[in-house]
Structure 1
C-alpha cells in the first residue's frame, strides 16, 4: 500500500498525494482573514468564454450574465480537485440578499428548520418541506402585507421529504403529494387546510432512497405533474459520483433518472436517464415540456463538469456516468456500453461547475417586469469542490418563446461575506399568488420574499 504524502502550505491548504497521478487538495478550514475585493461589472454585463467559467462569487452581482458553452470547457484535471466546503457563519446583523434595481428583498419567515422545496397553494399558502425534521410546514399571509399570519406544521413523521405537488391542478386540488427519499405519498387536501385531514397514502413505494455522502449519495426526490395532469414525474439522483467501480452498477440501475407514472403512481416508465442528480424539475408554461436543474459530477477540476438547467427529451440520455456534455468520456466510470457517446444530449444552459443547482420554477406571475415572463429561476446552493466559491445565489435562466437562450443571469446574490464566509444557501423557489418570488435558504433558515414596484 502506498503511504499518502501530506503537505500543508503556509496558506493553510492541505494536499494529500494519493499516488503518482492523483491528489486531493483540501482548502484551509478557516478562510483568509483579509477581505476579498468585490469586482465591478457593468450593469447586465455578459461574461463568455474563460471569463464566464473562471469567475467566482466576487464577480456575482444582480444583473450579471454568463453564457458557457461546451467549447469553453477545459480538459479533465486541468486543475486539482479540491475540498473547499462552505465555512458557514450566522447571518450578519442586517444582512439582506441583493436583487436588481427596483426589487425589494425582505425576510418573510425566519427560524425555520432546514427549509428546502417550497410551492404555492392555489389560495396563496406556502408549503415548505423541512427535510431535516421530516415534516411539511404551511405559512399563510392572509392580507398580503408580506408578513405571515399563521405558521403551522401540515404533516410530520415523513422520511427526508423534498418534492411537493398539488393534484389536480387548478383552483381546487384534492391532494398534496410529498416525495420522501424512498417513496411518494399523498395526503387529502382542500383549499385552506393547515393540517392534513387524513393519513398519507403511499402511491409509489420502490424509489431508491437515502444517502448523504459528499459528492454523491443524493437523497432528494422532486415531483411535478405534466401540464395536462396525466403524468407524474419523479426525479432520482445517483448513489455515487461517477459509478467508480463495477459493484455500483446494480446500485445505480434505478437512479440518475427521471421516472414517469400515472397520477396514481401506476405504469412506471423511465422518461430520461444519465442525469446525475436532477434535483429540481418543473413544467415550462409555454411549451409544456419537462425541465430540470441538475448537479453534475465532481473530481475533474474546478471547471468540470458544468451543472445545468435544461428541457428534458423523452427517452433522452444525458451522459452520466460514462460521458458529459456530449461525447466527452469520463474514464473513471466502469462498464461503459459501446457506441453510447454519440447519443449523449447536450443541455440547454450550462452553469458554472459545482454551483449545486437545486430547485427551480418558472415565473408565471404578473408583478415582475415583462422581460421576466416565463423565464426560469433556479437556486444555487453553492460549491464545495472548487478552489474559488461559486453558487450561493438564485439565477434567472433566460428564455425566448419558451426555449433557453443559453445565458443565465445573477438575480439574488449576497449570501457570502466579504471575507468569503457563507451565511445563506438558497434551495427552493416559488412564485406567490400576487407575483412575489419566495426563496428558501437553509443556511440562515429563512424564507426570503422578493417583490417589485415600478
Structure 2
C-alpha cells in the first residue's frame, strides 16, 4: 500500500525536522542492469490543508511588477534546484538531504497534483543538482557522484528507474575533500553537449596549502565532461561557491552566480553574477572576496592570475543561488534573454537582505544591470517567511521558484497586456 503523508508530516519535513526512516540500500548495480529491487512504495506529499493555506497567505505579500501574479505550485520539502522535463511532464527537484522529488501537474491547470519521491530504491547523498539534456536524459549531481537516468520522465512512475554512473561515487572530488559545507552541486548541459558541474570549495577562504589540489581537480571552480563521464577538464577557476549557472540563449556564453566571503562586514564584499567568454578564465577567489574587494587572508599577496571581474555586482551577503535565462514568450519582450536569479538571503548580516527573485538584463555587449523582481519574504520583524533557491522556466513561459525554508515551489506568470 502506498504511504500517504499527512499535512503535518509535510510541515515537519519542510521545516527541516528529520523523520525516522529505514536505511535505503544502494541499488545502483541492480538498476543499471534493469533488475527489480523489491521497493514498491513511494512517499507522497499532501498538497492541500493548513500548511498550503499558510504559504498562500504569505504569497499575498509578495510584490511583483505590474501584470505579474504568483501562486503556490507545489509543497515540496527542502526544495532546492529544479529541472523541467523536455516533454513538460514532470519537474524534478533536488534537496540538500537524501531525497529527489518528482512534481507532476497531471491536469495541466498549472498547479501540481502529485509530489512523490523519485527513485526511492536509490540511496542519495545531497542530490541538489538535477539537469536535463534536450533528449530527455536526467542527470543528478550529488555530493560526490553524478548519475544519469535515461527517459526519466517516463520511468519515474515506477520506484525502480534505469540509472547509471556518469561519475561514480568518490570520483567527483577527492574523498578527503568531502565536506558538510558548500557541497550543493548544480549542473547544466552546455551548447556543446557537455555537462558543466560547479564544485564549491568548503572554506570561507581557501588556505594556501589547498590551492594546487583545488586547481587540479576543479574544486572552487567548474568542470565540464562528456555526458558519458569521459574527457573531464576544468573549465572555470577562482569561484568560492557557485550554486547557479546557465548559458546565454544566443551567444552560448556561460553565466553564473557566486557566493562571496563572509565575516568582512555587513556591506562587503558584493555578490556576483559572472560572464565567462572562454575556457580557463579565473574569477579571482581566494585573492578577491567578491568584486574587487581583497580578502584579509591574501590582501598582501600579489595576484598571480588575470582576473575577470563580475558582470554585475549584487548586494553583499544576499546569497545569490540558482539562475536561468528567460527564453519564453509569456513575459513582455524586455525580459527576453534576461537572467532570473534567486537570492537565498543573508545568514550573518545585522539586518537581513535578499530572500527575493532578481532579474538581470544583458545588452548586446554583455553589459548587465540587475533589479528586484519578486520580494516580500522578509517581514517587518526581519524574519524570513521564505528563502528562494532556484528559478526555472515552464513550457508555457511562466517560471517556477523553489524555496527550501517553506518547502514549496511557486509559479509566477504574466496576465498583463
- Decide whether aligned partners of structure 1 residues 317 and 249 sit closer, same or farther in structure 2, where only a CA change above 3 A counts: closer
Q: Is the 8 A contact 1:113 1:133 kept in 2?
A: no
Task: Work out the CA distance in 2 between the residues paired with 1:442 and 1:327.
Answer: 31
Greater strand content: 1
- Picking from 349, 357, 360, the partner of 1:394 is 357
Residue 428 of structure 1: which of 387, 390, 397 is its match?
A: 390
- TM-aligned CA distance change 1:355 to 1:115, over 3 Å: same
Q: Is the 8 A contact 2:90 2:153 kept in 1?
A: no
Checking the alignment, whether the CA contact within 8 Å between 2:269 and 2:316 is kept in structure 1 is yes
Q: 1:160 and 1:433 mapped to 2: Cα distance?
A: 27
| Mapped partners of 1:326, 1:426: distance in 2 | 23
Q: Offset at 1:324?
A: 4.3
Q: Matched residues in 2 for 1:330 and 1:149: separation?
A: 48
Asked if structure 1 preserves the Cα contact closer than 8 Å seen for 2:319 and 2:346, the reply is yes
Distance in 1 between residues matched to 2:70 and 2:366, nearest whole Å: 26
Q: CA deviation at 1:198?
A: 3.3
**1:8-27, CA deviations, whole angstroms, 9 ceiling, x for partnerless residues?**
xxxxxxxxxxxxxxxxxxxx
- Return closer, same or farther for 1:333/1:194 CA change in 2, 3 Å cut-off: same
Deviations 1:269-291 (A, max 9, x none): 11110111111111111111111
Secondary structure in 2 aligned to 1:122? coil
Can you give the 5+ residue segments of structure 2 that lack an aligned partner in the other structure?
A: 1-52
State how far apart, in whole Å, the 1-side matches of 2:238 and 2:358 are. Answer: 24
Aligned counterpart for 1:211 among listed residues 170, 173, 179: 179
Residue 132 of structure 1, CA deviation: 4.2
Q: Is the 8 A contact 2:94 2:130 kept in 1?
A: no
Counterpart of 1:349 (choices 287, 300, 312) is 312
**In the alignment, structure 1 residue 128 sits paired with structure 2 residue 92:** yes
Counterparts in 2 of 1:397 and 1:93: CA distance versus 1, 3 Å: closer
Contact 1:316 1:345 in 2 (8 A): yes
Using the TM superposition, name which of 254-263 and 121-130 deviates more.
121-130
Q: Show CA shifts across 1:44-97 (max 9, x none).
A: xxxxxxxxxxxxxxxxxxxxxxxxxxxxxxxxxxxxxxxxxxxxxx96771113
Q: Tell me the secondary structure at the aligned position of residue 411 of structure 1.
A: strand
Structure 2 partner of 1:322: 287
Aligned: 1:236 with 2:236: no
After TM superposition, list the pairs within 5 Å mapping 1:218-229 onto structure 2.
Answer: 218-229=182-193
Deviation at 1:414, TM superposition (A): 0.7
C-alpha deviation, 1:162, in angstroms: 1.3
Is contact 1:129–1:161 with CA below 8 Å preserved after alignment? no
Instruction: Provide the secondary structure at the position in 1 that maps to 2:334.
Output: helix
Alignment of 1:228-267 (within 5 A): 228-229=192-193, 231-243=194-206, 245-249=207-211, 252-253=214-215, 254=217, 255-267=219-231
1:316 is paired with a residue whose SS is coil
**Runs of 4+ more than 6 Å apart:** none
Larger RCO: Structure 1 or Structure 2 (Cα < 8 Å, ≥ 6 residues apart)?
1
TM-score, reference length from structure 1: 0.72
Task: Please give the residue correspondences for 1:169-184 in structure 2 after superposition, counting only pairs within 5 Å.
Answer: 169=134, 172-173=135-136, 175-184=137-146
After the TM superposition, which residues 105-120 of structure 1 pair with which residues of structure 2 at under 5 Å, given as runs? 105-110=70-75, 112-120=76-84
Name the counterpart of 1:34. none
State the alpha-carbon separation in 1 of the partners of residues 192 and 334 from structure 2: 26
Is the Cα–Cα contact under 8 Å of residues 239 and 251 in structure 1 kept in the other structure? no
SS of the residue 2:235 aligns to:
strand
1:158 corresponds to = 124
What TM-score does the superposition give when structure 2 sets the normalisation length?
0.78
Q: CA deviation at 1:236?
A: 0.5
Aligned to 1:99: 64
Q: Distance in 2 between matches of 1:329 and 1:159?
A: 34
Is the CA contact (8 Å cut-off) linking 2:152 and 2:161 kept in structure 1?
no
Q: Deviations over 1:252-298 (max 9, x none)?
A: 44311101111211111111101111111111111111111111111
Equivalenced residue count is: 351
Equivalent position of 1:284 in the other structure: 248
Query: For structure 1, which runs of at least 5 residues remain unmatched after alignment?
Result: 1-89
In 2: Cα distance, 1:307 partner to 1:327 partner:
11
Aligned to 2:372: 410
Shift of 1:247: 4.7
Pair 1:297-2:265 in alignment: no
Q: Does the residue aligned with 1:398 lie in a helix, a strand or coil?
A: strand
